[in-house]
Structure 1
Amino acid sequence: MVIFVTIFLVIVYLSVCAVFARSMGLVKCIDPNKAYQKENRRHFLDGYKNWKSEEYIIKSFDGYELHTTYIPSAVPSKKFVILVHSSTYCRIGGIKYFNIFRKMGYNGILFDLRGHGDNQKSPSTWGIKESKDLLSVINDTVDRFGDDIKIGVHGECLGGVTALTALKYHPHISFVIADSCYNSLYSLLCKLAQQIAHVSPVLFDPAVIFFRLMFGYSYKKIFTKDSLNGNTVPICFIQGDSDCVVPVKDTVELENATEGYTEMHIFEGADHTRNIIADADRYEEIIKNFLYSVHCLELAA
């Protein structure tokens, strides 16, 4: 009897680990309409409703289709910013950041990460394929608007990790603003497991094996900082000191890994990806000052 109970408990335990592994690959994303309502309630879309915009689809490196929105600046400009949203969200989440860039004469490119928003369902690869998708968006933007344009990238959480991971491919960009970015994917998923199940994340270690079998790679071996070796693209790191998902030490590790110009700004009392909500005026000032520094670096080069 004891043996049967033990076998049953082991099967249940492994089943839970398998379900957890699947949920980390096939993430449950917010409906774009609900995301729009959420951003609208916070008045982030007040200006956006009156702006011209264009919707189109970009085919990525493997043929996957990325739904994209182009928002031109108020006056003709060669400056572009690509805004990359966080995991489980969609491209409308980038508008609150583009509000800042548009004041500075930037055109905006917003796209849904694979498996998110209006895109077809697809497993999240936590930056592996997403970084190549971003390269496709960068190349498409150059093809559409000319090779004399200046492009920067702003991303939060997975969006920022996507941008940082893409740097190893030496993309045609001038800067990255990385908000609430993790370094160790394994540590991130352990923390999420602990928050969901309220148990030691060590209990979910077998999920690593299931995840590899399901999606073809081990999330224990993914470190964002590995993509920053030799990087010289300026990066502005933004992080909340009350982030319940990503610790400040991750941001410190990422800043130490790159060789280019960096800034790091910590928002007191800000939770995960809530830095702009914690202090919108300071957030805007940080971006303005950082872009001014990048401009000065370009002039001095």
Structure 2
Amino acid sequence: MFKKIAIAIATLALVAYCVVSYNLAKSIVMPKTLTLDEERKWIEEHNLLGNFDTYEKKDYKINAYKGYTINAQIVKSKDNSNNKYVIISHGFRSNRNGSIKYIDTYQKLGYNVIIYDVRGHGLNEKTAVSLGNIESEDLYMIIQDTYKRFGENIHLGLHGESMGSSISLSVLSKKPKLDFVVADCGFSNLYNLIYGAYKENNIGFLIYGVSAATKLGYHIDMKKTSPIDALSQNNIPICFIHGENDTFIKPKHSELMFENNKSMDELHIVPKAEHASSISVLGTDKYSEIISEFFKSIQKS
């Protein structure tokens, strides 16, 4: 009798473990995302809209990895003769409107700004996401599309926030033609990030089930989303920015990538800033100054 009870309890525990693991995996790779209107409202409520509505814009679509369609928008520089471009990749569950807060920064520096909905987000078709690995394939094709649309001799860089930082750094393994990357509050490896969060909440044992569920259910290996691995032979200058009080993705992630990157780089830890809030804490002018000084350093090197 006791043996049967023990087997029943063990079976229930295993079923519960599998169910919880699957649901956690689903929340990672099939997240409930914000609409463009919801993200726009958040930007407005936090006074991050800036001069966005005054800029000339154009929506367009890009044929990305394996035929997946990406919705994009170019925010044109007021200097129409300018040949400087930056592609901004937004964070998890957000969309291209989440990148609005950075547009004034690059407009001040004379850049045309390309914002887009990352795979599975915004106006794009719903699909599983890897938070960097598969999306870097899309970004590589967005980079190629940018050169085709605007000229092979343009000055082109990337800017990424959180998941967008992961995407912007992961694409470097493909050796794209780029002039710089700004990586704001990014993580070094998705598996390690998730495991660390679970461990802090005393549920570290769930990582094995969640990892298995993402692989078996969605064909996504969290360990392969590893921006730090893309830096081993990188030669593109990188500016790392991270909030000192970021508890979601801790500053140690940017510090570790800064230490392992092989190219010219800088690391800025912003006092009092939480996750993805460095620009809010610093203000657009000081944030622009960090990037402007970084560009000057690149020119000197």
Task: Please indicate, yes or no, whether the TM-score normalized by the shorter chain is above 0.5.
Answer: yes
Q: What residue number does 2:286 align with?
A: 282
Q: How far 1:33 sits from its partner (Å)?
A: 0.7
How far apart are residue 5 of structure 1 and its match?
A: 3.1
Q: CA deviation at 1:136?
A: 1.1
Q: In the aligned structure 1, how far is the partner of 2:32 from the partner of 2:196?
A: 17
Number of residue-to-residue matches in the alignment = 295
Task: Give percent identity, aligned residues only.
Answer: 30
Match 1:250 to one of 249, 253, 256: 253
Report what 2:51 is aligned to.
Answer: 47
Q: Secondary structure at the match of 1:66?
A: strand
Structure 2 distance, partners of 1:68, 1:210, is 31
> Deviation at 1:45?
2.1
Mapped to 1, the partners of 2:117 and 2:137 lie a distance apart of 13
The equivalent residue for 1:94 is 99
Q: Distance in 1 between matches of 2:29 and 2:15?
A: 21
Relative to 1, partners in 2 of residues 1:279 and 1:217: Cα closer, same or farther, differing over 3 Å? same
Matched with 1:30 is 34
Distance change in 2, residues 1:191/1:32 (3 Å)? farther
Deviation readout 1:87-138 (Å, 9 max, x if unpaired): 1101111121111110111101001100001101011112111111111111
Q: Out of 97, 100, 115, which is 1:110 matched to?
A: 115
Take 1:125 and 1:222, find their aligned partners in 2: how far apart are those partners?
7
In structure 1, runs of 5+ residues without a counterpart are: none
- Give the partner amino acid of 1:203: L
Alignment partner, residue 15 of structure 1: 19
Partner of 2:155: 150
Instruction: Identify the match of residue 267 of structure 1 among 253, 261, 270.
Output: 270
Secondary structure (helix, strand or coil) at the match of 2:67 reads coil
Which amino acid letter does the alignment assign opposite residue 178 of structure 2? Answer: I
Give 2:226's match in structure 1, choosing from 223, 227, 252.
223
Match of 1:85?
90
Cα deviation code 1:202-261 (max 9, x no counterpart): 234222111110222432354321111111110000011211122222112211222211
Please state how far the C-alpha of 1:288 moved relative to its aligned partner.
1.2
Query: Counterparts of 2:257 and 2:209 in 1: how far apart (Å)?
Result: 28
Listed as ranges, the matches of 1:114-133 within 5 Å are 114-133=119-138
Rounded to whole Å, the distance in 2 between the matches of 1:3 and 1:82 is 55
Deviation of 1:2 (Å): 3.9
Pairing of 1:173-252 with structure 2 (within 5 A)? 173-193=178-198, 198-252=201-255
Moved over 3 A (4+): 191-195
Deviations 1:13-70 (A, max 9, x none): 2211111112211112112111011111223224111211000100103110100001
Q: Which amino acid aligns with 1:74?
A: K
Segments of 5+ residues of structure 2 without an aligned counterpart are none
Amino acid at match of 1:234: P
Give the conservation status (yes or no) of the 8 Å contact 2:273–2:281. Answer: yes
C-alpha separation in 2, matches of 1:9 and 1:129: 34
**What secondary structure, in the 3-state scheme, does the structure 1 residue paired with 2:297 have?**
helix
Cα distance in 1 for partners of 2:281, 2:125 equals 33
Q: Is the 8 A contact 1:89 1:117 kept in 2?
A: yes
Bigger drift between 157-166 and 209-218 goes to: 209-218
Deviates more, 1:230-239 or 1:245-254: 245-254
Supply the RMSD in Å over aligned alpha carbons: 1.6
In structure 2, distance between residues paired with 1:247 and 1:152 = 25
Counterpart in the other structure of 1:63: 67
Cα separation, 2, equivalents of 1:36 and 1:153 = 22
SS in 2 for 1:201: coil
Amino acid at match of 1:116: H
Amino acid at match of 2:255: V
In the superposition, the TM-score normalised over structure 2's length comes to: 0.93
1:167 to 169, 172, 181: 172
